[in-house]
Amino acid sequence: MVLASTLLMLAATPAPPPPPPDPVLRQIAETRSFQNGTPSVIHMDRSGAHVFFLRSPADSPVQSLYVFDVDAGQARELLSAEALLRGAAQQLSPAEKAQLERQRVAARGIISYALSDDGRTLVTSLSGRLYRVDVTALLGGRPVEQAVKPLAAKGALDPRLSPDGKLLSYVKDWDLYVLDLATGKERRLTTGGGDRLTHGLAEFVAQEEMGRFEGTWWSPDGKLLAFEEADTRSVETFSQGDPAHPEAGVQQLPYPRPGKFNAKVRVGLVPAAGGKTSWVKWDAERYPYLTQVKWPVRGVLTLYVMDRAQQHAQLLAVDPKTGATRVLLEEQDPAWLNLEFVGGGRRANPLPLWLPDGSAFFWVTERNGAPEAEIRGADGKRLGSWVRPDQQLVRILGYDGSEHALYYQASPESPDLVVMRVRDGGSPERVVGQIGERIIVSGMLAEDGPTRLVSIETPSSFAEWSVFDRGGRFIGRLPSVRAVPLRTPAPEYRKLGPQGFWSYVLRPRDARPGQKLPTIVSIYGGPHANHVQSSARALLSEQWLADQGFLVVGFDNRGTPRRGRDWERAIRGDLGGPMLEDQVAALQLLAQQVPELDLARVGITGWSFGGFASALAVLKRPDVYRAAVAGAPVTDWLNYDTFYTERYLGLPDAPGGAYEKSALLPLAAGLQRPLLLVHGTTDDNVFFLHSLLLSDQLFRAGRVHQFLPLSGYTHMVADPVMQESLSRRVAEFFRSQLGTGELR
């Protein structure tokens, strides 16, 4: 009776009112961290006469297609999703959603497009329907109804135009097709495709880990297509469903775990007019990974293939008539070979980058201790070095044949990226970015013209794309309509100790000098990504968190790029040890310079690898970290994918116990500090099982923790309402555990 009365009293107690909306946090969430209104997916025709890009309004993620006319110096909207759909709602198939997830695309509307070399024809996909766009007609003022033609290919994936814009390839029902755009005649080029044997699509690890999203490549003359066949029938299958919607059923997803079967991949060559497929011949048993394919206008068709250990690779030249291959060059490394220097789908110019006449090509190697741009003859013979290992090369941007100049990104200091140029193998000269200036610069070059695009971002300003000619004359900007931020970050950057750890510090805007503040470490810490960057957009959420009364700091540890081969390879065989050791050392060094940093009240938070790092920190170093929020953490690397995991840890049966060293589950019984796990229930990259397994181990060991499942969300949390709620939840967790005031 007493219990019943107590329950009635509790039920009658009114719940506290919801917190009022935070205008800064809501703006960050609703603008996708100010990606709305910003030009993206930028392409030029070969001559550089027109620059195409996608852009949404400031208050919406729904993108339209725009074009910048270089001669006129002006941009205009070319085509909108609304005009194509005529008021109907956009629908995405599961296959389209999966492709966008792999590319981390949260936008909607027009998401991608294929462009002919001359820029006159464009194809885009919307709601499973393909549309051919007559760019010249739209630029001439003709209405959309006359300039845009729906194509018969419904449910098509990965549309790709032939270089002359006359033919279109795509994948339908897992086979490769070609459509003649003039006659509307569709031709099936492959047979036997299915969901476990696909023709013309990149397999999961290629998209997720290699940055290669293409599975079809046109010959320069438009007469042949190279395509990938991916056989996943031997790959282990994961069942993926939304627990909140059991009526929706489950998907069966091939997911290769370490030590188990990968997709079997081969490359076919088929005439666009139809005919027999010939298969490219290489030692696929020794080199099972197809990491990169390039078919340049001049130069040869090349494949870059790699062994499973990712310690040996070959660049192969292919004879399109026979499928025979010859080795142009080989790369090897006792730890692993970096693939991002070769290129991939996220790069404008994947390597090899051929000279305009096809007589030689540029390549990037780390065999001398750091990235180096070398030039090689058409036979693969090394001719010389254009960018030495000590010149901080990050990425090749393009080559201008008129100038005989190679343009590339360099990182003179780890948070920064500048654009450099080297002519005829001479001394590099800085094109954009001053010494000591905190800045991130990127760029693009027209393949056959004088047009250059330059993007500049700083810690206090967002990226803006400007158009220049070869002589540096400013032509105009790709217009941005992003919202004006209510607040921008105010980071302080420091290089710490003899190790040279780069760090940033974000303070509350009302902080008093000398006042001790609870400190939150924002972490990624994983390979192939720098957490400390001169980027305003990257620090928006962290600045909001700092404004809740915290000192928010971030560090780059060993294993991150831009510091040379040895620094990066230090994590081989142990993903957590050197990373955590460096994070602790950097935190203590920073405390010597920043008296406001309270070492007695330190929390840590991160997502994905950062979630793994956060959980590891609170489990192994409770003397340093008093609370952690781990978002989508990998808790057992045996349950992550092959290509990523085996690169750093090797095969599971290799000596040394690398997987045990890097696992969180064996540490669960030792949890002493508050831990909040956050995970999307339909994550198909770091599966929900990771957090479930850790929570189960913690519960069995009697360790109190908190677990927040995000119902129906994947590895991305794109919904603005969910983003805002999650940010508030994280801040409230640290407020309660580290002891600061109410949310502001």
- Give residue limits of the domains in the chain: 492-738
| 133 DSSP β-pair partners | 122, 148
As a whole number of Å, the CA-based R_g of the chain is 26
In degrees and rounded to multiples of 5, residue 327 shows phi and psi of: -85, 120
How far are the Cα atoms of 491, 526, 553 from residue 606, in angstroms, in the given order? 18, 11, 12
Helix (H) / strand (E) element for 676: namely strand 675-680
Hey, how many other C-beta atoms are within 10 angstroms of the C-beta on 273?
Answer: 12
The first and second tokens of residue 236, run together, are 């282990």
- The answer to whether residues 202 and 215 touch, using CB atoms and an 8 Å cutoff, is yes
- The span from the CA of 27 to the CA of 244, in Å, is 29
3-state secondary structure of 14: coil
Nearest to 337 by CA among 368, 314, 312: 312
Residue 1: per-residue pLDDT: 45
| 395 DSSP β-pair partners | 409
Nearest to 110 by CA among 135, 130, 81: 81
- The span from the CA of 611 to the CA of 608, in Å, is 5
The first and second tokens of residue 641, run together, are 């994918």
- The span from the CA of 641 to the CA of 54, in Å, is 32
CATH architecture of the domain formed by 492-738: 3-Layer(aba) Sandwich (3.40)
For residue range 385-411, list pLDDT tens digits in order: 999 999 999 999 999 999 999 999 999
How far are the Cα atoms of 342, 355, 411, 595, 688 from residue 347, in angstroms, in the given order? 9, 18, 17, 42, 30
The first and second tokens of residue 642, run together, are 């092959």
How far are the Cα atoms of 175, 191, 549, 559, 560 from residue 527, in angstroms, in the given order? 35, 40, 30, 5, 5
* Strand 627-631 versus strand 597-607 pairing type: parallel
User: Which 8-state DSSP code applies to residue 450?
Assistant: S
The first and second tokens of residue 50, run together, are 């027109």
How would DSSP label each residue in 618-669? HHH-TTT-SEEEEES----GGGS-HHHHHHHH--TTSTT-HHHHT-SGGGGG
Inter-axis angle of helices 23-30 and 720-738, nearest 10: 140
Residue range 371-391: average pLDDT? 97
337 Cβ contact list (under 8 Å, min separation 6)? 306, 310, 311, 312, 313, 331, 366
* Strand 40-44 versus strand 50-55 pairing type: antiparallel
- The span from the CA of 122 to the CA of 78, in Å, is 11
For residue 540, the one-letter residue type is L
- The answer to whether residues 180 and 192 touch, using CB atoms and an 8 Å cutoff, is no
Nearest to 79 by CA among 46, 106, 51, 52: 52
For residue 462, the one-letter residue type is F
- Per-residue buried b or exposed e for 707-722, using 16+ beta carbons within 10 Å of the residue's own CB: ebbbeebbbbbbebeb
In degrees and rounded to multiples of 5, residue 197 shows phi and psi of: -145, 95
The beta-strand segments (E) located in 162-263 are: 167-172, 175-180, 186-188, 197-199, 216-218, 224-231, 237-241, 250-254
Would you mind telling me the total number of residues written for the chain in this entry? 744
* Measured CA angle at 597 (ends 593, 601), to 5 deg: 150
**Does the structure show a pLDDT above 60 at 8?**
no
3-state secondary structure of 546: helix
CA contacts within 13 A on the Cβ side of 266: 14
Hey, how many other C-beta atoms are within 10 angstroms of the C-beta on 130?
Answer: 22
User: Which 8-state DSSP code applies to residue 681?
Assistant: T
- Mean pLDDT over the full length of the chain: 92
Residue 639, sorted as left (phi over 0), alpha (psi -120 to 50) or beta, turns out to be: alpha
CA contacts within 13 A on the Cβ side of 205: 28
Residue range 667-685: average pLDDT? 97
**Does the structure show a pLDDT above 60 at 4?**
no
The first and second tokens of residue 127, run together, are 């709601």
- The answer to whether residues 618 and 671 touch, using CB atoms and an 8 Å cutoff, is yes
Of the pLDDT bands very low, low, confident and very high (cuts 50, 70, 90), residue 345 is very low
How would DSSP label each residue in 95-153? HHHHHHHHTT---EES--EEE-TTSSEEEEEETTEEEEEEHHHHHTT--HHHHEEEEEE
- The span from the CA of 732 to the CA of 744, in Å, is 11
Residue 346: per-residue pLDDT: 46
How would DSSP label each residue in 67-104? EEETTTTEEEEEE-HHHHHTTPPP---HHHHHHHHHTT
Residue range 166-189: average pLDDT? 95
* Measured CA angle at 542 (ends 537, 547), to 5 deg: 120
Residue range 111-135: average pLDDT? 91
- The span from the CA of 675 to the CA of 667, in Å, is 13
Residue 377: per-residue pLDDT: 98
For residue range 616-644, list pLDDT tens digits in order: 999 999 999 999 999 999 999 999 999 99
**Does the structure show a pLDDT above 80 at 502?**
yes
The first and second tokens of residue 94, run together, are 């599961």
The first and second tokens of residue 406, run together, are 């190679």
Q: Which of 42-56, 90-104, 156-170 has the lowest mean pLDDT?
A: 90-104
Residue 297: per-residue pLDDT: 93
Helix (H) / strand (E) element for 568: namely helix 565-569
**Does the structure show a pLDDT above 60 at 7?**
no
Q: Would the pTM of this model clear 0.85, i.e. be above it?
A: yes
For residue range 223-262, list pLDDT tens digits in order: 999 999 999 999 999 999 988 889 988 989 999 999 999 9
Of the pLDDT bands very low, low, confident and very high (cuts 50, 70, 90), residue 79 is very high
For residue range 27-76, list pLDDT tens digits in order: 999 898 999 999 999 999 999 999 999 999 999 989 999 999 999 999 99
For residue range 562-590, list pLDDT tens digits in order: 999 999 999 999 999 999 999 999 999 99
The first and second tokens of residue 297, run together, are 């206008």
3-state secondary structure of 562: coil
